[in-house]
């Protein structure tokens, strides 16, 4: 969702004449599930990667180390002027470290996001990547303020907006033509639903959950599932796009059969971007621990319960004008906010520069910085 608009912006830049940009697309393979990776490349029109490192699964240490080892010869071979990294995954950190080891300039898309929780692997990835980056491309004003407090020189920071929203705005019209019941039937797990589904817009809740803090501990996941099955689904049916990690844990903790058979909890295989966008557009409420979905809910106006105790995207919170509220995995808190949130209207909000033109600003910022470096 972040690479597609960036590549398309490069193509527009090259098509306009002037100094051309050659680029090499490297896919680390960290998101190794075919439904979550290959389908995204196809549906978003991303060209096949020039290089696939095929890192796959493993512990943080394994992914970090293997990505560094695999990425270094790629940098040596292609000798780029810039290495552009995105987000806060392990590959972002690994590629930034190798870039600086080989004395290459680094541009970080989505720089400056901070949750304040150093226990999150993603927070460590953000902090280290931003420390190493030569050009820090921020999605909102709050992120720029974070970097300034950390002592990053102003000339290295560029406020460009949220590149995720570029993809949303480009996809919105096409996604709107999808039919919710058809998406569910095409992706439902284990033969669910047993009878015909005809969920109308604004009558169902949408859910995702994959973070270790929510799914890796039996007491926490069990309490969440009891609440969802016994209480939340009595208010409205829930459509749950299931992450492979969560599915594995439900099976390991002996919850799978009960969850799968619940008549008002519809489990879906991992789905493509456009299908998920359509489900979000029609949802009465979102329950998620995904950072990207917090942002989409903000722009679409879907009231959102964020199943985390902190967020690196505070601009999406209601206190900053967004659609989301933090509820963590505390059932009492979730219960209170669910009841209150179901009464809220859909209220779309687009923060500054969340306008579908971020990728063009990113390309312009990189080119302007390149000229400054050459001139110096």
Q: pLDDT, tens digit, for every residue of 119-161?
A: 999 999 999 999 999 999 999 999 999 999 999 999 999 999 9
Mean local confidence (pLDDT), 202-209: 97
Q: What is the pLDDT of residue 374?
A: 52
Instruction: Report the distance separating Cα 118 and Cα 312, nearest Å.
Output: 11
63 and 149 both lie in a single domain: yes
pLDDT in tens, 66-113: 999 999 999 999 999 999 999 999 999 999 999 999 999 999 999 999
Q: What is the pLDDT of residue 373?
A: 57
231 and 289 both lie in a single domain: yes
Q: What is the pLDDT of residue 55?
A: 83
Is beta strand 285-288 parallel, antiparallel or unpaired with respect to 265-268?
unpaired
Q: Which of 185, 177, 211, 230 is nearest to 338 (CA)?
A: 230
Burial call 185-211: b when 16+ CB within 10 Å, e when fewer: eebbeeebbeeebebeeeebbbbbbbb
273 and 367 both lie in a single domain: no
209 and 305 both lie in a single domain: yes
Q: What is the pLDDT of residue 30?
A: 63
- Band (pLDDT 50/70/90 cuts) for residue 375 is very low
232 and 331 both lie in a single domain: yes
35 and 131 both lie in a single domain: yes
Q: What is the pLDDT of residue 33?
A: 54
Q: Which of 166, 176, 135 is nearest to 153 (CA)?
A: 135
Residue 168: pLDDT above 60?
yes
Instruction: Report the distance separating Cα 141 and Cα 295, nearest Å.
Output: 15
Q: Is residue 346 part of a domain?
A: no
223 and 251 both lie in a single domain: yes
- Band (pLDDT 50/70/90 cuts) for residue 370 is confident
- Band (pLDDT 50/70/90 cuts) for residue 193 is low
Q: Is residue 40 part of a domain?
A: yes
Q: Is residue 319 part of a domain?
A: yes
Share of the chain above pLDDT 70, in %: 94
Q: Is residue 38 part of a domain?
A: yes
9 and 155 both lie in a single domain: yes
pLDDT in tens, 212-233: 999 999 999 999 999 999 999 9
Mean local confidence (pLDDT), 17-43: 76
Domain containing residue 84: 3-162+354-375
Q: Is residue 287 part of a domain?
A: yes
Q: Which two tokens stand for residue 136?
A: 């820090």
Q: Is residue 347 part of a domain?
A: no
- Rounded to a whole number of angstroms, the distance between the first and last alpha carbons of the chain is 35
Report the CATH number that the domain containing residue 192 is assigned in CATH: 3.40.50.2000
Q: What is the pLDDT of residue 376?
A: 41
Among all residues, which ones are annotated catalytic? 210
179 and 80 both lie in a single domain: no
Residue 311: pLDDT above 60?
yes
Residue 292: pLDDT above 50?
yes
140 and 224 both lie in a single domain: no
- Band (pLDDT 50/70/90 cuts) for residue 330 is very high
User: How many CB atoms within 10 Å of residue 63?
Assistant: 22
Q: What is the pLDDT of residue 312?
A: 96
Mean local confidence (pLDDT), 333-348: 95
135 and 258 both lie in a single domain: no
Tally the domains of the chain. 2
249 and 226 both lie in a single domain: yes
Instruction: Report the distance separating Cα 84 and Cα 50, nearest Å.
Output: 15
Instruction: Report the distance separating Cα 346 and Cα 20, nearest Å.
Output: 43
Q: Is residue 332 part of a domain?
A: yes
Structure pTM?
A: 0.92
Q: Is residue 17 part of a domain?
A: yes
Q: Hunting for tokens 């990294």 — which residue is that?
A: 85
Residue 296: pLDDT above 80?
yes
């Amino acid at each position: 969702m972040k690479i597609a608009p960036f590549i398309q912006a490069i193509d527009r830049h090259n098509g306009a004449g002037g100094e051309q940009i050659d680029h090499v697309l490297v896919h680390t393979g960290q998101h190794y599930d075919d439904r979550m990776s290959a389908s995204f490349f196809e549906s978003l029109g991303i060209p096949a990667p020039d290089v696939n490192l095929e890192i796959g699964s493993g512990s943080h240490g394994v992914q970090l180390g293997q990505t560094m080892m695999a990425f270094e010869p790629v940098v040596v071979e292609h000798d780029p002027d810039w290495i552009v990294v995105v987000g806060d995954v392990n590959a972002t950190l690994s590629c930034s470290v190798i870039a600086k080891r080989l004395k290459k300039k680094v541009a970080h898309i989505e720089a400056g996001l901070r949750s304040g929780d150093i226990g999150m692997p993603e927070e460590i990835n953000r902090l280290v990547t931003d420390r190493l980056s030569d050009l820090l491309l921020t999605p909102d004003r709050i992120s720029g303020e974070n970097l300034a407090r950390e002592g990053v020189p102003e000339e290295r920071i560029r406020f460009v907006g949220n590149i995720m929203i570029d993809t949303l705005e480009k996809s919105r019209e096409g996604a709107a033509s999808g039919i919710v019941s058809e998406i569910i039937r095409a992706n439902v797990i284990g033969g669910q639903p047993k009878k015909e589904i005809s969920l109308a817009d604004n009558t169902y809740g949408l859910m995702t959950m994959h973070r270790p803090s929510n799914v890796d501990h039996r007491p926490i996941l069990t309490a969440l599932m009891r609440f969802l099955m016994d209480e939340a689904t009595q208010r409205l049916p829930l459509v749950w796009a299931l992450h492979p990690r969560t599915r594995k844990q439900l099976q390991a903790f002996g919850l799978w059969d009960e969850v799968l058979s619940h008549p008002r909890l519809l489990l879906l295989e991992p789905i493509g971007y456009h299908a998920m966008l359509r489900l979000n557009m029609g949802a009465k409420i979102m329950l998620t621990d995904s950072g990207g979905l917090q942002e989409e809910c903000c722009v679409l106006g879907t009231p959102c319960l964020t199943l985390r105790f902190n967020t690196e995207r505070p601009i999406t919170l209601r206190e900053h004008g967004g659609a989301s509220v933090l509820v963590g995995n505390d059932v009492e808190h979730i219960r209170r906010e669910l009841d209150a949130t179901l009464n809220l209207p859909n209220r779309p909000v687009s923060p500054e520069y969340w306008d579908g033109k971020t990728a063009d600003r990113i390309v312009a910022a990189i080119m302007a910085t390149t000229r400054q470096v050459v001139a110096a």
